[in-house]
Amino acid sequence: MQDTHLAALPPDLQMLYAAAVVARQNSYSPYSHFAVGAAVRTAAGRIYGGCNVENASYGLCCCGERNAIFAAVCAGERDLDAICVVADTQQPVSPCGACRQVMSEFKIGKILLGNLKGDIKICSLEELLPYGFDL
Ligand code: THU
């Protein structure tokens, strides 16, 4: 796990971060008031955004990371190489267990966790989900 800052990222990862911040603007989070944005990048360099979408029936809420990954998959993409997730947190936001498992399904190698101040942690799947489930 590497702690860094937006300004120190290479331009391609700065773009991925920017896409996550933009996706976050569409967060529908009237219950938690905790807006999350995510952006996933394909091996070919295409970027798909997602935000958290909540529901009055709380269990139906879906996280930003999963919505970004599902948007990519629904567009026919399966070769996903990086994801960035952003929230307005003191430290870089930590993805929930369900999202870690979904990242694992698509073997997303590079995972960027960020906040709006531009603090970034870069981690691997193995760091986020050691001994994860696989069939
Ligand atoms: N949330 C995410 O979007 N991603 C995470 O990894 C953690 C939690 C959302 C779900 C819910 O809409 C809100 O944050 C509060 O839990």
> Which is the catalytic residue, given 65, 77, 105, 127?
65
Q: Whose CA is nearest to atom 6 of ligand 1?
A: 95
Using the mean position of ligand 1's atoms as its centre, give its distance from the Cα of residue 37 in Å. 9
Distance of alpha carbon 25 from alpha carbon 60, whole angstroms: 20
What value, to the nearest 5°, has the Cα angle with vertex 103 and ends 16 and 81? 45
Q: Sort 31 into a burial class: Cβ within 10 Å, 0-12 / 13-18 / 19+.
A: exposed
Q: Does residue 32's CB lie within 6 angstroms of at least one atom of ligand 1?
A: yes
Note down pLDDT in tens along the chain; length 135 residues: 999 999 999 999 999 999 999 999 999 999 999 999 999 999 999 999 999 999 999 999 999 999 999 999 999 999 999 999 999 999 999 999 999 999 999 999 999 999 999 999 999 999 999 999 999
Q: Does residue 113's CB lie within 6 angstroms of at least one atom of ligand 1?
A: no
Q: Does residue 64's CB lie within 6 angstroms of at least one atom of ligand 1?
A: yes
